[in-house]
Chains A and B, each alone.
Chain A
Amino acid sequence: MSFLELDRVSVGFGPAGNRTEVLSDINLSVEENEFVAVIGFSGGGKSTLMNLLSGLLPPSSGEVRMAGNKVREPGPDRGLMFQNYSLLPWLSVEENVALAVKSAFPKLSKSEVTDKVKHFVKMVKLDHAGDRKPHELSGGMRQRASLARTLSLDPKVLLLDEPLSALDALTRSELQDQILNIWETDRRTVVMITNDVDEAVLMADRIIPLTMGPAATLAEEFVVNMARPRDRHTLNDHPEYMRLKSEITRFMMHLNKESKELGTTKVVPMPDIRPKDFSPPSIGPRFSHKSKQPTSAA
């Protein structure tokens, strides 16, 4: 039996007759210590899926199970890391983490709590900013503080709800490495929701696409058969990486097209206008390989 399970789960809102199905007939099973990425479009019910797994939202039908037990309410064994950090703005980084530590381990003494807090703050490299309030931190630092808080619960499952989507590309890759590092040294089950194919392929063992809503469901999974640790610098040359990326991207594009065809939204044809080239005539060498990069990525 798998560790975390969604068994024919559906979620809908609104009264009967005018019901909007957000998720329908979702089956998912995650093994222990597995890293699963769920990839989907924005507004496709990804966060609803996360709320189901964490227990914040009860399913309309079906069952969420963890280690064989039905999930009824949220708890510290499923550490949810929120998309928008959700740090308490009146508490400093350390106090935010301490609140989590105290609630997960109520029996710890004061000094043990302090030690634990220091440990996790250091783990996400925030020890220089432990006494700062969230509004004094950058987006990446806030997300790291949020990660520290989630990890400090010592959860059996880490639920990452688009943890990095609000960050700039550089901070993002840095944090990806950090999360992977932590996961590799201290294995645990992770379910991550993302909208970034690169991120999913880099980090996950399995990638499961979520189809377009309404009534979104999980599509056929992609298994990532690449050895760990994965090095982002050499990954670009890895044939498996290239294959997965293009396959998933194609699949997602297809989903998007399908849903557009299904949907009633009329597509207004755009006029075929090319922007005028105002760039000055170049002097000196041209870095032609740079302009080629986007084509290779697509």
Chain B
Amino acid sequence: MADSIKDKIKYGLLKGIDVSGFKVLDPPVRLAFGEEPRKQVGDIAKYMILPILFVLACLGIWTVMGPNHKTKSGEVPTPAKVWTAYEDNARFDERQQEKAADFIVEGAEREAVLTATTEELARLEAEAATLAEASDAVAATAKEETEALLAPLRARLDALKAEHEAAEDRREAEMNALAAEIVAGQAQPSALVDLVRENEILEDEANDAEDVIETQIKDILSDPPAEVKAAQMAANRVADEVQHYKKRIDILTKENRNVKEAEYLAKAEEDRAQLVAAEDPKKAVREAKSIARNAERAEDSKTQTYPRTATIFWQTKRSLATVFVGFGLAAALAIPLGIMCGLNRIFMACLTPIISIFRPVSPVVWLLIFQIIIGAFFPDPEKHPLFVTLNDEKWFGWIGNPLAFLQTNPAMIFSACTVAMCALWPALVNTALGVSSIDKDHMNVAKVLRLGFWSRLFKIIIPSSLPLVFAGLRISLGVGWMVLIAAEALSSSDGLGKFVWDEYQNGSSQSFANIILACFVVGIIGFFLDRIMIFLQRLVSFDDGSATA
């Protein structure tokens, strides 16, 4: 009995692995259930450990080779640096979220947060002070060492300079003497030219010799010892944290929307008192205006949110939202059109020229065309009902809008349309193929059963073409995700593409690492999107996946 349950779990797991396409996990599961351990261990070694070792080897090569290549944006970051970039991005995102929360927290809770934050700040400031001191101390010792290192170099440089100057003075004197002789007619003028040339060459040589030493000095100065760097980094990190906490306290005490609201209301109250006490009619009007203004401000600040800066996580979410909107549009167009193409040869003949001409068009061209065409629909996007609704914090005043965080704008629509336009074709062509290649016997069954058009469509045609439809959708999603990143970079629509583009443009010390980080994020998400589609494809395929393998 227990065995059969165990078997059930085992085969359930194996089936899940098979359907989701993670065949790699097959041997460990079998091993865990004690099936042919020797074979499974062999398989694990061959299909899991070796690939992992290979990837590690690639990372190793990257680590070694990267720093050797110096570029305009610094050396190629190593995997460790990319990981640091990830951590920094994560911290940045966390801080953004803290600040956004601080901005809206109210009442006793705000007080509690404020106290905690103040305490933490005090602790951090103390830590920062010690660290700064330590860092200074390390720097001071290091400076002494550096000075000791530099002193002989500097001495040599000074000696060299003095020597060169003396030599130059000597040559100057020689030239002047020769010139005097030429003027007196006692020497050949060409001799002076030779002398001048020689002088220039010697001067250059002297400069080069000085440069060598100067570069050495500069290198030593610009490359502080590792322990100094580490101490500085530790100090900077805490100093950074201190800054963040100061900003938080600032938000909690001043910028917080509830604080602001109370402030404006208090002002309005004050004005009201003045209005009541007013003797001059003009002053009364002024006070009344002020009350109205402050009441309006108080009302406005109630719904304000913290103006967050885009982080890579938010950009990723937005990219995903955009790709799904575009993919959804593509599927909604491609599947019905594809079915019609597959059913009707005339319709197919009509669409063929359109498909053939527009399919090879680059996404960049589509993006520009959509920017012009669709841009015309949103002359004033801030007030357009579509965006107002999508970005409204609360629908009908009380339903939380789950899409508000996306901050939908026309650029997002352009990108989504570009994705749709490029993702349309594979789905369309595959659907048409799936529908037109239905087994003739199945159509004969439909004829003998005298199925009507709709039941023929939903009972025979669509089920039998589903595997190919999903194969097409899978290609479409892959294409869409690739196109999206390019479209975002070009259209400055928030998303991973824009993240990469911004990093490329701003060129800070961490930009290169951030770009490579984005590369991995794009790749990993693309991989999971593909997996999801494979999973769906396996679910709808009716003969053990062999039709779509």
**Chain A interfacial positions (CB closer than 8 Å to B):** 54, 56, 73-76, 78-80, 82, 84, 86, 88-91, 99-100, 103-104, 133, 135, 153
| Contact, CB under 8 Å: A104 / B543 | no
Q: How far is the CA of A80 from the CA of B544 in the complex (A)?
A: 28
Q: How far is the CA of A98 from the CA of B334 in the complex (A)?
A: 31
| Contact, CB under 8 Å: A75 / B463 | no
| Contact, CB under 8 Å: B542 / A86 | no
Name the A residues within 8 Å of B542 (CB-CB): 89-90, 133, 135
**Nearest-CB distance from B458 to chain A (Å)?**
11
Name the A residues within 8 Å of B455 (CB-CB): 103
**Nearest-CB distance from A184 to chain B (Å)?**
25
Name the A residues within 8 Å of B442 (CB-CB): 86, 88
- Per-residue A-contact encoding for B427-456, CB less than 8 Å = 1, 0 else: 000000000000101101101111100010
| Contact, CB under 8 Å: B463 / A103 | no
| Contact, CB under 8 Å: B447 / A88 | no
Q: Does B464 contact A (CB under 8 A)?
A: yes
User: Which of chain B's residues 529-549 have a Cβ closer than 8 Å to chain A?
Assistant: 542-544
**Nearest-CB distance from A143 to chain B (Å)?**
14
Between B442, B448, B459, the greatest number of chain A beta carbons within 10 A of the residue's beta carbon is seen for B448
Name the A residues within 8 Å of B113 (CB-CB): none
How many residues does chain B have at the interface if contact means C-beta atoms less than 8 Å apart? 19
Q: How far is the CA of A100 from the CA of B460 in the complex (A)?
A: 12
Contact A104:B449 (CB < 8 A) given known A88-B463, A89-B542, A135-B544: yes
27 of the cross-chain contacts (CB-CB < 8 Å) are A56-B448, A73-B447, A74-B444, A74-B447, A74-B448, A75-B450, A76-B449, A76-B450, A80-B448, A82-B441, A82-B444, A84-B441, A86-B441, A88-B442, A88-B445, A89-B542, A90-B463, A90-B464, A90-B466, A91-B463, A99-B449, A103-B450, A103-B451, A103-B455, A135-B542, A135-B544, A153-B449
User: Which of chain B's residues 116-165 have a Cβ closer than 8 Å to chain A?
Assistant: none
**Nearest-CB distance from A169 to chain B (Å)?**
25
Contact A99:B444 (CB < 8 A) given known A75-B450, A89-B542, A90-B464: no
Q: How far is the CA of A233 from the CA of B267 in the complex (A)?
A: 110
The 8 Å CB contact of A88, one of B450, B460, B544, is B460
User: Which of chain B's residues 503-549 have a Cβ closer than 8 Å to chain A?
Assistant: 542-544
When C-beta atoms are compared, the residue in chain A nearest to B547 turns out to be A89
Name the A residues within 8 Å of B445 (CB-CB): 82, 86, 88
When C-beta atoms are compared, the residue in chain A nearest to B464 turns out to be A90
Q: How far is the CA of A56 from the CA of B464 in the complex (A)?
A: 21
Known contacts A74-B450, A84-B441, A86-B444, then 19 further A-B pairs from the complex at CB < 8 Å, ordered by chain A residue: A54-B448, A56-B444, A56-B448, A73-B447, A73-B450, A74-B448, A76-B448, A82-B445, A86-B441, A88-B460, A88-B464, A89-B464, A90-B542, A103-B451, A104-B449, A133-B542, A135-B542, A135-B543, A153-B449
When C-beta atoms are compared, the residue in chain A nearest to B447 turns out to be A74
Q: How far is the CA of A74 from the CA of B443 in the complex (A)?
A: 12
Q: How far is the CA of A86 from the CA of B442 in the complex (A)?
A: 6
User: Which of chain B's residues 301-341 have a Cβ closer than 8 Å to chain A?
Assistant: none
Q: How far is the CA of A79 from the CA of B537 in the complex (A)?
A: 34
Between B441, B445, B447, the greatest number of chain A beta carbons within 10 A of the residue's beta carbon is seen for B445
User: Which of chain B's residues 327-373 have a Cβ closer than 8 Å to chain A?
Assistant: none
Q: How far is the CA of A133 from the CA of B545 in the complex (A)?
A: 13
Q: How far is the CA of A99 from the CA of B455 in the complex (A)?
A: 10
Q: How far is the CA of A153 from the CA of B442 in the complex (A)?
A: 17
Name the A residues within 8 Å of B464 (CB-CB): 88-90
When C-beta atoms are compared, the residue in chain A nearest to B462 turns out to be A90
| Contact, CB under 8 Å: A89 / B543 | yes
**Nearest-CB distance from A165 to chain B (Å)?**
15
Q: How far is the CA of A75 from the CA of B460 in the complex (A)?
A: 17
Name the B residues within 8 Å of A75 (CB-CB): 448, 450
| Contact, CB under 8 Å: A99 / B543 | no
Q: How far is the CA of A85 from the CA of B498 in the complex (A)?
A: 56
Q: How far is the CA of A75 from the CA of B447 in the complex (A)?
A: 7
Q: How far is the CA of A73 from the CA of B466 in the complex (A)?
A: 29
When C-beta atoms are compared, the residue in chain A nearest to B439 turns out to be A86
Q: How far is the CA of A90 from the CA of B459 in the complex (A)?
A: 10
